[in-house]
């Protein structure tokens, strides 16, 4: 008699290149796909609002795909181990397969689940479906984890190429009787208020959307990626981050999709393997490498000396940043794009993060929490690495003296103002010359454009020039403290002046 397998689905919501699914099918018996909603088992980082919206629609798409294979998705809610044991009793399953996750709390939960299922006499096996390389398999010459990206990725590229992606099954054997399932709506993942309408207009969650986005990028944007990847005013990036996070596409599929394109165009191997785009896949791998080896970093700086940093605690400034009302157009445009679409261009993420931690001297943890709740691609590893990089307190961090000037960044990467005009329409009639610095524009230009600072667009909350000096002084004191100079404490509760035309 063929034995039933429970397929425990998590952040692997696809059918192609799905190692746990392939292993379950290989056993030859019925396969019962199950999703268990247990956010409390994610520790301090249960899914945020935007992530839950995406999850709802991704599960909808997956269930539709499963029906086409003669299967269906069983949805349950509750503690994972208890729920799996109930399903084992209901289905007669003799094994539970799943793909690994790498967040610290989830890894600990999965270890306990696996040990308990084995004690129950069940087969319990996990697989790697989310990364090119397991975090514990990559070490430097001293047997330690890497803390700088370039040597890390060089080391990864020297390893054998990842295996070809696994094909999706053409049919899934069904059990004689399906266990009961909750309706997806009972999980209440979608918001009760209609703030998510912009997310629906911007995205197509699910495996089909992921495949379409990869194809669109490779055929229309890859050739210009190096030139356009920093331009938020053009569609020059892959926009694959949420699909990778939810496992609707795998990094192996991305790798081999790029390889096939290169082969078709007769590109040298070193050209596509050394491409900036593939390095972004490497950055994602690096983020998971760091989170695995330094599990405290979602809330604490990797560099211990930064625990002494005295951050500002101004709630009004934080609110202005969150709402896109700082008076710096590129910052405000980015924060409004985030709120509307659940996503933000990577260059703009760096600009708004630098503004929060360097101009406003607000804690990077506040920014990480806001991104966690509002990004559809909120990923604990990448969110942590990105914010610690911006704050200068993590691995491979930006130099502490790097303070992005939001005005010059806007002028450089949104030169014609298309991005700012889209998300800050009240500035739309300003000329390119003044669009990124409305506080410096002549009164006549402001009147002609219908812009009145303090009325329909805010005054800058700080002077960037003054804020930069404050940041440099504060960071220098941390550096001095690390060297044993023991400086006196600098109070960061200082109201900085607004920007002047010379900033």
Question: Which amino acids are annotated catalytic?
Answer: 280, 283, 311, 346, 364, 387
Closest CA to 8 of 107, 76, 105: 76
Sign of CA dihedral 433, 439, 440, 444: positive
Cβ-contact 460, 439 below 8 angstroms: yes
Cβ-contact 200, 190 below 8 angstroms: no
Exposed / middle / buried, residue 111 (Cβ in 10 Å: 0-12, 13-18, 19+):
exposed
Sign of CA dihedral 390, 393, 394, 397: positive
* Integer Cα distance of 335 and 342 in angstroms: 10
Hey, is 31 helix, strand or coil? strand
Q: What are the φ/ψ torsions at residue 224 (nearest 5 degrees)?
A: -105, 15
* Integer Cα distance of 285 and 293 in angstroms: 13
* Integer Cα distance of 254 and 284 in angstroms: 13
Hey, is 453 helix, strand or coil? strand
Query: What is the maximum alpha-carbon separation in the chain?
Result: 84
Closest CA to 411 of 440, 381, 443, 372: 440
Cβ-Cβ contacts under 8 Å for 469 (sequence gap 6 or more): none
Alpha helix segments (H runs only) across 375-416: 380-391, 406-413
């Amino acid at each position: 008699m063929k034995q039933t397998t429970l397929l425990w689905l998590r952040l692997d919501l696809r059918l192609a290149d799905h190692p746990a699914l392939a292993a379950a099918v290989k056993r030859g018996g019925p396969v019962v796909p199950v999703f268990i909603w247990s956010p409390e088992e994610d520790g301090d980082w249960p899914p945020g609002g935007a992530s839950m919206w995406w999850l709802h629609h991704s599960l909808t798409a997956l269930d539709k795909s499963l029906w086409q294979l003669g299967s269906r998705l069983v949805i349950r809610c509750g503690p994972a181990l208890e729920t799996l044991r109930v399903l084992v009793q209901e289905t007669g399953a003799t094994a539970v397969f799943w793909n690994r996750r790498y967040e610290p709390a989830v890894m600990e939960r999965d270890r306990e689940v696996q040990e308990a299922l084995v004690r129950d006499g069940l087969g319990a096996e996990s697989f790697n479906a989310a990364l090119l390389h397991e975090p514990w398999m990559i070490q430097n010459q001293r047997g330690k984890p890497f803390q700088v990206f370039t040597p890390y990725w060089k080391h990864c590229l020297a390893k054998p190429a990842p295996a070809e992606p696994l094909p999706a099954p053409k049919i899934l054997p069904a059990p004689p009787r399906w266990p009961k399932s909750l309706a997806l709506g009972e999980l209440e993942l979608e918001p009760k208020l209609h703030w998510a309408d912009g997310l629906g207009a911007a995205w197509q969650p699910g495996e089909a959307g992921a495949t379409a986005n990869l194809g669109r990028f490779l055929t229309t944007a890859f050739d210009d990626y190096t030139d356009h990847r920093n331009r938020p005013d053009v569609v020059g990036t892959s926009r694959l981050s949420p699909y990778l996070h939810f496992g609707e596409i795998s990094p192996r599929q991305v790798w081999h999709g790029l390889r096939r394109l290169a082969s078709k165009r007769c590109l040298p191997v070193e050209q596509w393997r050394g491409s900036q785009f593939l390095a972004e896949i490497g950055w994602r791998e690096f983020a998971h490498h760091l989170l695995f080896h330094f599990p405290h970093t979602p809330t604490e700086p990797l560099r211990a000396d930064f625990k002494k940093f005295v951050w500002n605690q101004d709630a009004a400034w934080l609110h202005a940043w969150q709402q896109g009302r700082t008076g710096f157009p590129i910052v405000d445009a980015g924060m409004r794009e985030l709120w509307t679409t659940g996503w933000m261009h990577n260059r703009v993420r760096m600009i708004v993060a630098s503004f929060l931690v360097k101009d406003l001297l607000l804690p990077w943890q506040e920014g990480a929490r806001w991104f966690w709740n509002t990004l559809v691609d909120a990923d604990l590893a990448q969110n942590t690495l990105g914010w610690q990089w911006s704050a200068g307190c993590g691995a491979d961090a930006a130099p502490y003296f790097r303070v992005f000037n939001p005005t010059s960044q806007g002028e450089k990467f949104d030169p014609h103002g298309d991005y700012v005009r889209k998300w800050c329409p009240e500035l739309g009639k300003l000329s390119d010359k003044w669009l990124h610095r409305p506080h410096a524009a002549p009164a006549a230009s402001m009147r002609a454009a219908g812009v009145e600072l303090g009325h329909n667009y805010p005054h800058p909350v700080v002077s960037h020039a003054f804020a930069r000096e404050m940041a440099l002084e504060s960071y220098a004191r941390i550096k001095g403290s690390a060297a044993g100079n023991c400086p006196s404490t600098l109070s960061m509760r200082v109201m900085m002046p607004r920007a002047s035309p010379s900033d």
